[in-house]
Amino acid sequence: MKVLGEEDQDRLRRLAEVVAEYDLRRVVEEVAGGGVAPGVMASLAARCVFDHVASLVFPDRVEDVVDLLHRWGFEVCAPVPSVVVRDRLMRRHVLDAYDCDVSIVKARPGRTPRGSQGLEVFVFPRPRKDDPVAVAERSSRQEDHFALRVTHPGDGGLDLVRRLLAESLPMVPDGGGHNPYDGAGGSSVLYFTAPGGRLELTCDGIPTDGA
């Protein structure tokens, strides 16, 4: 049986702990690097839920990640192609599309007493242990993030949350995109950088408010 390398297993184990321990407030405060005004937090809580925590790993095979998460008791969705993170990796490392086959594996605990949050694992098979892309990405952790799901993105809902993050919290927009393979109508994401890490806003489909 193949397994992930120790470093990738440790990373996924930490993500599993975060899923069990964190809620919306803790996610926002950690990424913002400190306390958040009650009014801002209330506005976010009315429009968002903590959806997932994410990281990028480099197994021999996508199935290695799926098998491990199953053994840990997670309910694992079928892998789907990555679009946004794949494109970011291609730009950063000057990779061709044929050499950048990245999948997304989503998983949620079998029991989620604190909500429906889960893991989002970007899987980039790189069998060589000294692969330069894997070495660089494990060091920089540029794809690690927390994600909030905007529950009602239409009619300006997504734009309102985006403005809350950019204007009321120390968060800087950092791109985004749409993945047509993620869900029935695809999914859209917006990224932000902040003192405590990266935050993603995600919603189903394509926003209709110009976001």
Question: What is the number of structural domains in the chain?
Answer: 1
What is the pLDDT at residue 172? 97
> Cα–Cα distances in Å, from 182 out to 79, 167, 205?
9, 29, 9
Does the pLDDT at position 5 exceed 90? no
pLDDT per residue as tens digits for the range 151-167: 989 888 899 999 999 99
Q: Is residue 210 part of a domain?
A: no
The answer for 36, left when phi > 0, alpha when psi is -120 to 50, beta otherwise, is beta
pLDDT at 25: 97
Whether 211 maps to a domain, the answer reads no
- CATH number of domain containing 76: 3.10.180.10
Residue 139's domain comprises 6-204
Q: pLDDT digits over 174-198, tens only?
A: 999 999 999 888 999 999 999 999 9
Average predicted confidence (pLDDT) for the chain: 92
1 belongs to a structural domain: no
Asked if the structure places residue 60 within a domain, the reply is yes
Residue 191 forms part of a structural domain: yes
pLDDT for the residue numbered 208: 59
In a domain, 63, yes or no: yes
**Is 29 a residue whose pLDDT tops 70?**
yes
- Asked whether residue 47 is assigned to any structural domain, the reply reads yes
Least confident of 63-67, 72-76, 77-81, 127-131: 127-131
Residues 15-27: tens digit of each pLDDT: 999 999 999 999 9
209, part of any domain: no
